[in-house]
Structure 1
Amino acid sequence: MIEKPGVVIQVEDQFALVQTLSDSSCQHCVNQQGCGMANLTSMLKPKYGTVKVVNQLAAQVGDQVIIGLEENALLKTSLVFYLLPLLGLFSGAIGYEWVVVMMQWPELEILTIIASLLGLWMGLLQAQRINAKISKDTRYYPVILKKFVLEKCN
């Protein structure tokens, strides 16, 4: 389970919007003064992010929470959104090259590029269709694992 702290900023039915603090890109380096990636991230990346989560603990606006996402859900969605377009790209190029060999057509590189881009586009469309189904399935949403209250220090 991947966990992250945040603050509830809005509640809608069974969902809540949780504002989380963005992490640095690496998290391995304590001294980030000499790291170009940390400097670039701090300039380009917003400091806070907003995540739609399943509000199974009935958290209210202002509550500090720990949200969690199953690694399995992250893995499945990552495979869909990265692998399908890549498979489409390669399938388009390889499919066109196979047709050229089978039909004994002259090989034109520009047509291979067009076929691979067409395959990429088809992969992206399929990923978009799957996203429409996944976005309705709460198993792929992060959930609120626990609410906690920070004690004030005087």
Structure 2
Amino acid sequence: MIEESGRVVSIEEGAVWVETLRRSTCSACSANAGCGQGLMEKLGVGQRRGYVRALTDLQLAVGDGVVIGIREDLLLRSSLQVYLLPLLGLFAGAMLAQWLALPEAFVILLALGGFFAVWWRVRGCSRRGVDDPAMQPVVLRAQLAVCAMPVEDR
């Protein structure tokens, strides 16, 4: 499971909306000092809040800390569908136009047509899976709030 911490902001029947902080991995990159993205991260420009609907059977309240998770295979498959398939459609359209010996303008148009055709198909498939519980993030566990006990002077 890929895990992320967050805070419950809304409760539904069988699910909660969780607010997470989007972070980049710039702090771990070796090119952090000379990178514009790393500078933006240091300035806090890249920090935005994300909202995720996660399924749960736990009794949670607004403000509770939770850890949500999604299966690795689901994330990998979704990434390939969203990034790789439209790119393959682009190349397939361009290669088809090139094979038909069409002028360059038609090669470009067919490449874009292949991209958008595959993109439209991926979009339709993702909409069909929206209500599938197996494809939803889930609340793995609630995080306990640690209360700081005042230390008395001796």
TM-score calculated relative to the size of structure 1: 0.84
> AA paired with 1:52?
R
> What is residue 38 of structure 2 aligned with on the other side?
38
Which residue identity does 1:22 align to in structure 2?
Answer: R
Q: AA paired with 1:143?
A: V
* Match of residue 16 from structure 2: 16
The CA deviation string for residues 129-153 of structure 1, in whole angstroms up to 9 with x for no partner, is: 1111121212122110001221211
Q: Which runs of 4 or more aligned residues in structure 1 lie more than 3 Å from their structure 2 counterparts after TM superposition?
A: 32-36, 41-44
Task: Report the Cα distance in structure 2 between the residues aligned to 1:18 and 1:126, rounded to whole angstroms.
Answer: 29
The unaligned stretches of length 5 or more in structure 2 are none
Q: Out of 109, 112, 133, which is 1:114 matched to?
A: 109
Secondary structure at 1:96 match in 2? helix
Q: TM-score, normalised by structure 2?
A: 0.84
**Aligned residue number for residue 64 of structure 2:** 63
Equivalent residue, structure 2, for 1:134: 129
Checking the alignment, whether the CA contact within 8 Å between 1:74 and 1:140 is kept in structure 2 is: no
In structure 2, what residue type is equivalent to 1:122? A
Residue identity over aligned pairs, in percent, reads 34
Measure how far apart 1:67 and its partner are: 0.8
* Residues matched between the structures, number: 147
